Amino acid sequence: MPKPKIYVTRPLPSKEAMEKLYKYCEVDLHEDEKHPPTREELLEHVRGKDALLCLLTDKIDREVLDAAGPQLRVVSTYSVGFDHIDVEECTKRGIYVCNTPGVLTEAVAELTWALILAICRRIVEADEEVRKGRWPAWYPTYLLGMELRGKTLGIVGLGRIGSVVARIARGFDMKVIYYDVRRKPDLELLLGVEYKPLDELLKEADIVSIHVPLTKETYHMIGERELKLMKPTAYLINTARGPVVDTKALVKALKEGWIRGAALDVFEQEPLPPDHELCKLKNVVLAPHIGSATYEARKAMADMAVDNLILVLKGKMPLSLVNPEVLKIRPLEKVKMIEE
Ligand code: NAP
Ligand code: GLV
């Protein structure tokens, strides 16, 4: 059996995972780690491939699937989010879509808390004061921020990441409320969290933290109306996906004081241009989509993304299949290309 041909859109930070790819497959690797392939490169290199290992920066739509050809069996993404992939179209074509849930949960939850603390205690502003020699002296009202104890954290999307963010909140003696498309009675008991409809959560929370996936339903879920429901002393944290929040409305809210601040790891436009309105505001903390950027998580994601791809090509169930309906369209035995 000839080795399956695969396109890998970036080198991955796991030597073992990369070796496994080369052991089983004929690998076409986009070697520039810092920049995604251009659209033209993606369309050219995917041609004739049996599998694609992509990142969240690669838009995998009909045009890419057409360019690949009907032999494409699996799209394995090095991310938990899969909003950059047209999953419905993949399913129709019998293409397995795999992702990396779980292994990055703690990393993203920890980054969420880093952002919460940074915005509430004005860490970025404070750092700038020291570096720029603007620290006048210790004085009673210098760089005051919000204390967390006794405050209410509102979690939008109590999934894997949202649940860990809720668990950590206990250590700060906070009350936690949540909104999700489904009520989660088990988690309510386990984590001591209380369900609220979205509008009530927005009215009550001192900190609103977003953890929903980007879907048609969650696009601009937080817009002008929702931001106006929040307390003027509240903070918005987004480590999910940029387009869940309407950026124009958020900038207005931050400028006009509808809310006190925001901390963001994700944006509608990534990379965020440095002349963007958000970069001019003092009451925001900005991070360049580094939620899962720990040595541990990025290696585990690489191992999982590669295992997913190889397992499908061996005709076995991957560790995480986004579109299980595909099993009926092209059963696993029909995707098999690698003998044990
Ligand atoms: P998850 O376990 O699937 O959690 C998402 C939660 O949102 C689930 O409880 C889900 O409910 C709920 N939900 C889905 N649609 C909703 C809607 N319309 N309204 C309200 N709730 C809704 O996913 P996760 O692993 O926690 O990851 C969450 C997201 O974080 C990812 O999709 C990704 O976009 C983002 N992320 C960002 C980074 C980063 O670097 N900043 C890293 C990793 C992930 P059901 O369980 O009923 O579907
Ligand atoms: C990162 O944003 C991911 O979805 O894994």
Q: How far, in Å, is the centroid of ligand 1 from the Cα of 285? A: 22
Among the listed residues 219, 254, 224, the one whose alpha carbon sits nearest the alpha carbon of residue 236:
254
Is there an atom of ligand 2 within 6 Å of 162 CB?
no
* One domain, residues 132 and 61: no
Rg (CA), the chain: 22
Q: How far, in Å, is the centroid of ligand 1 from the Cα of 155? A: 11
Q: Indicate the residue type of 204.
A: E
**Is residue 340 one of the residues assigned to a domain?**
no
Is there an atom of ligand 1 within 6 Å of 209 CB?
no
* One domain, residues 175 and 44: no
How crowded is residue 65: how many other Cβ atoms within 10 Å of its Cβ?
21
CATH number at residue 20: 3.40.50.720
Span 264-319, pLDDT tens digits: 999 999 999 999 999 999 999 999 999 999 999 999 999 999 999 999 999 999 99
12, 104, 299, best to mutate for ligand 2 pocket (most atoms within 8 Å of CB): 104
Span 326-339, pLDDT tens digits: 999 999 999 999 98
* Number of compact structural domains in the chain: 2
* One domain, residues 98 and 81: yes
Q: How far, in Å, is the centroid of ligand 2 from the Cα of 184? A: 23
Q: Whole domain around residue 84: which residue ranges?
A: 5-103+295-334
Distance of CA 316 to the CA centre of its chain: 27
Is there an atom of ligand 2 within 6 Å of 101 CB?
no
Tell me the pLDDT of the chain averaged across its residues.
Answer: 98
Query: Helix or strand or coil: residue 154?
Result: strand
Closest atom of ligand 2 relative to the 100 alpha carbon = 5
**pLDDT (0 to 100) of residue 187:** 98
Task: Using alpha carbons only, give the angle 8, 102, 179 rounded to the nearest 5 degrees.
Answer: 120
Is there an atom of ligand 1 within 6 Å of 237 CB?
no
Element (H, E) at 292: none
Is there an atom of ligand 1 within 6 Å of 291 CB?
yes
* One domain, residues 171 and 267: yes
* One domain, residues 217 and 88: no
Ligand nearest to the CA of 214: 1
- Sequence-distant (≥ 6) Cβ neighbours of residue 190 within 8 angstroms: none
How far apart are the C-alpha atoms of 103 and 299, rounded to whole Å? 9
pLDDT at 340 over 90: no
* One domain, residues 31 and 44: yes
* One domain, residues 265 and 130: yes
Q: How far, in Å, is the centroid of ligand 1 from the Cα of 27? A: 32
**pLDDT (0 to 100) of residue 148:** 98
Smallest CA separation from ligand 1 atom 32, residue? 213
Residue 150 in tokens: 């006794």
